[in-house]
Amino acid sequence: MMKLRQHVHILGITLSIGLLIWLLIPIATSTTRANEQTINMAAGNELSITCETTFTADIQDNEGRITCATTEPTTESTDTASLINGLNGVEDGGSVNGTIAIEAEVSGDTIAEVVFALTGPESKTHTERKRPYYFLGDRDVNGTREPLGWDTTTYPDGDYQLSVTATDADQQSDSITVAFSVANGTNPEPTAEPTTEPTAEPTQVPAPPVGGNNLPASAATYLGGNSDDEATAVDVAPNGDVLMAGVTPDYNPGNMTPTDLLGGGDGSIVRIDDKGQEVLSVTRIGDRVNDLEINNDGRIAACGNFGVATLNATANEVLWNADTDGAKRCSIGADGTVAAIVGGQAQVYNNNGDRVASWAIGGSNQEDIVVDSANQLIIATGFTNRRGGGNPVQVAFMRAWSYGGAAAWTSYDFSGAEAARTSLMADTRGYRVTIGGDGNLYLAAESAGGNTIFTRDPDSINEKVGDRQVKTDNYTNPFNTRSNHITWYGRYNPANGELEQGQIVLTRLSSGAGNTIRPRGIDADANGTVYVSGVSACCIADRDNQQLGGQAIGSYSGGESFLLVVSPNLAERLYWTPFPGGGDASVAVRNGQAAFATTASEDKLVTLNAIQDTPGNLSDAYLTVVK
């Protein structure tokens, strides 16, 4: 029994020593592993350890940490030095407006891509794979890469966050994020004398200085009888005569005996002197005249349910007539070439009235056509119903062909997928094209909101128009809009459809919210002064202070026509005049003399040196001559 106890005692001592060794050995030998061991030591104990590299120690009072450094790697360094040095064009916590260029400053020569991810009221992701790394890309300008820029006015105001991630060829990434706000709709409060009582409506959005608020008219008159009368088109002849086309059943302005052409009818062409004060002749042709245009020789092209016809300068003789199924719009060039829209086709006639070509214009709606005799082109506009991102979208187009129908160029006409990819899903429609007195091509179009393809180059949806879009004030800067229809008009090179300058125009409510304005006519004088007409909702700039021939226009009471006159560089609004109660309106100008025609159904319009002071019983034509 005694011997057994001794064996047990010896065994216990042996196990204790073994346990101590087992505890100590891992500390001395674990330096090749990235782990930790903790040992509690009694006073007077000693511990000897070794390390194949070097020790570092952090000892404070009765606690300490000893670390055996890891072996320096001999393979390629995995150092993830910063790939992005910073962002230019936007600051964290800052505010932006207008068009800005955001550039990522990136280090290294092996960058695979830089991804810009914008989040906020409207989000956008853009990837760049070549230097320079600009948000929304860049373009070549005379051998230099220039940013396309981010037009913040096409995005809602609010708080945004932009995260930029650069990734190199080894899939190493680096990111930077900035938070900022877009504030295009912020206007300083006026410093005018305060009111002691609240006003019924917010203060009208201020307008910049304009050329004047009194449109200098030599005459303004109703033209209508007891039936529904209508003005559909107007033009100014080389000698100054004003010709208005439309429908005037049982009514001959000035009590003139009419000239009946092609069997007569309710359709009419009324010829008035250069002051707009005397009727020179009335021509009856077909049931309705849809359009007319006069070339530099005074020859008149007219179209309607009677087809297409050219008339002499006094509109009392048919030079030739093409009896088609009806023509929607028509144009005549300086060389006598006539083009018309007939059933969705372009039909082209030479000076003798021979049809030389016809072809499908294409698109869903064909709205207007013009002859560019200088380049021997036929140019049409309209829009196409497409789908993008699963949603319907209407896309405006301009298309040009030779006189024989060979395709020359196309502007806008982007696919639905392109519109969706660039978030430019506002419906757009081309309505009017013309060759101005300066020889340039002019387009009048509309867009259902500010996210529009008209902010992009007509040849590339990826290219911003930049300063070619002229913004002068809140009425030419489309912030705070939804899907209200607004106007775009532009000057283009007729030879290739390239945009030279353009401008968005919108009306605004007293709250500052954008409102509707739709174009229906455009022309330009020889010096490039632009005239745009159409119909609008409330309200144009400084509306209630506008005058016509020194007479007050009167208060807004519903939809109305407008005439907008803009300087050749589009930087100054010369006149912007409302016509209360008016509908779709046409405009023409030649040698500084302009004519404006609309259809009115109420007695709200100013008359001046009038042929007819008061309207008839129903709708009436209305004409203003501006000199």
Q: What is the pLDDT of residues 429-441, one digit of tens each?
A: 999 999 999 999 9
pLDDT digits (tens, 9 = 90+) for 383-427: 999 999 999 999 999 999 999 999 999 999 999 999 999 999 999
Look at residue 14 and tell me if it is in a domain: no
Give the single-character DSSP code of 459: T
Write out the two tokens for 319. 């030079």
Terminal CA-CA length for the chain: 138
CA dist., res. 293 & res. 276, Å (int): 18
Asked if residue 420 lies in contact with residue 434, where contact means CB atoms within 8 angstroms, the answer is no
Q: Assess whether 468 and 552 both reside in one domain.
A: yes
Query: In the structure, what pLDDT confidence band is assigned to residue 218 with cuts at 50, 70 and 90?
Result: very high
CB 91 within 8 A of CB 180: yes
Q: Kindly report the backbone phi and psi dihedral angles of residue 30, in degrees, each rounded to the nearest multiple of 5, phi listed first.
A: -95, 10
pLDDT at 125 over 60: yes
Beta bridge partner(s), residue 24: none
Based on the fold, state whether residues 148 and 270 are members of the same structural domain. no
CATH number of residue 260's parent domain: 2.130.10.10
Backbone phi, psi, residue 235, to 5°: -150, 160
Residue 202 — very low, low, confident or very high, per pLDDT cuts 50/70/90? very low
**Is the pLDDT reported for residue 506 higher than 50?**
yes
Beta-ladder partners of 47: none
> Which residue has tokens 């529904």?
228
Is residue 261 pLDDT above 90, yes or no? yes
Return the closest-CA partner of residue 559 out of 530, 531, 594, 599.
599
pLDDT for 75 equals: 34
Residue 127 has what pLDDT? 84
pLDDT at 32 over 90: no
Burial class (CB in 10 A: 0-12, 13-18, 19+), 489: buried
Task: Indicate whether 447 belongs to any domain.
Answer: yes
pLDDT given at position 311: 99
Average the pLDDT over 166-184 and give the result: 84
Domain assignment present for residue 201? The answer is no
Angle among Cα 313, 431, 423 to the nearest 5 degrees reads 160
Q: Identify whether residues 424 and 511 lie together within a single domain.
A: yes
The whole domain housing 538 covers: 214-626
Residues 500 and 544 in one domain: yes
Say whether both 164 and 235 belong to one domain: no
The tally of domains found in the chain comes to 2
Residue 366: helix, strand or coil by DSSP? Answer: strand
Instruction: Provide, rounded to the nearest whole percent, the portion of the chain with pLDDT above 70.
Output: 82
Judged against a pLDDT cut of 90, whether residue 175 lies above it is answered with no
Name the CA radius of gyration of the chain, rounded: 38
Q: Which of 136-150, 266-280, 336-350, 541-555 comes out lowest in average pLDDT?
A: 136-150
Say if 73 falls within a structural domain.
Answer: no
User: The domain that contains 96 carries what CATH number?
Assistant: 2.60.40.10
pLDDT of residue 201: 33
Tell me, yes or no, whether 467 lies in a domain: yes
Name the band, by pLDDT with cuts 50, 70 and 90, for residue 123.
Answer: confident
Q: Do 315 and 357 fall within a single domain?
A: yes
pLDDT tens, residue by residue, 50-83: 665 555 555 545 556 565 654 443 333 333 457 8
- Over 90: is that where the pLDDT of 260 sits? yes
pLDDT at 47: 62
Based on the fold, state whether residues 461 and 609 are members of the same structural domain: yes
Do the beta carbons of residue 216 and residue 227 sit within 8 Å? no
User: What is the pLDDT at residue 128?
Assistant: 87
Whether 349 and 392 map to the same domain: the answer is yes
Q: Is 467 exposed, middle or buried (0-12, 13-18, 19+ CB in 10 A)?
A: exposed
**Contact criterion met (CB below 8 Å) for 613 and 222:** yes
The string of pLDDT tens digits covering residues 320-354 is 999 988 899 999 999 999 999 999 999 999 999 99
Assess whether 488 and 592 both reside in one domain.
Answer: yes
Lowest mean pLDDT among 157-166, 276-285, 331-340, 571-580: 157-166
pLDDT at 27: 39
In the chain, how many H helices and how many E strands?
Answer: 2, 50
Residue 64: the pLDDT is: 60
Residues 177 and 270 in one domain: no
Q: What's this model's pTM, rounded to 2 decimal places?
A: 0.69
Residues 136 and 232 grouped into a single domain: no
pLDDT surpasses 90 at 599: yes
In the sheet with 318-322, reading across from the earlier edge strand, the strands are: 289-294, 300-304, 307-311, 318-322
Q: Who wins on pLDDT, 181 or 490?
A: 490
Q: What gap in Å lies between CA 360 and CA 372, rounded to an integer?
A: 18
Average pLDDT of span 608-617: 95
Residue 519: is the preceding peptide bond cis (ω within 30°)? no
Looking at 160, 182, 204, the residue that finishes a domain is 182
Domain assignment of residue 484, yes or no: yes
pLDDT confidence tier of residue 23, bands split at 50, 70 and 90: very low
Q: What is the rounded (10 degree) CA torsion for 564, 569, 571, 577?
A: -10
Same domain, 303 and 359: yes
On whether residue 189 sits in a domain, the answer given is no
Burial class from Cβ neighbours inside 10 Å (0-12, 13-18, 19+) for residue 259 reads middle
What pLDDT score does 58 carry? 52
Structural domain contains residue 297:
yes
What is the pLDDT at residue 20? 36
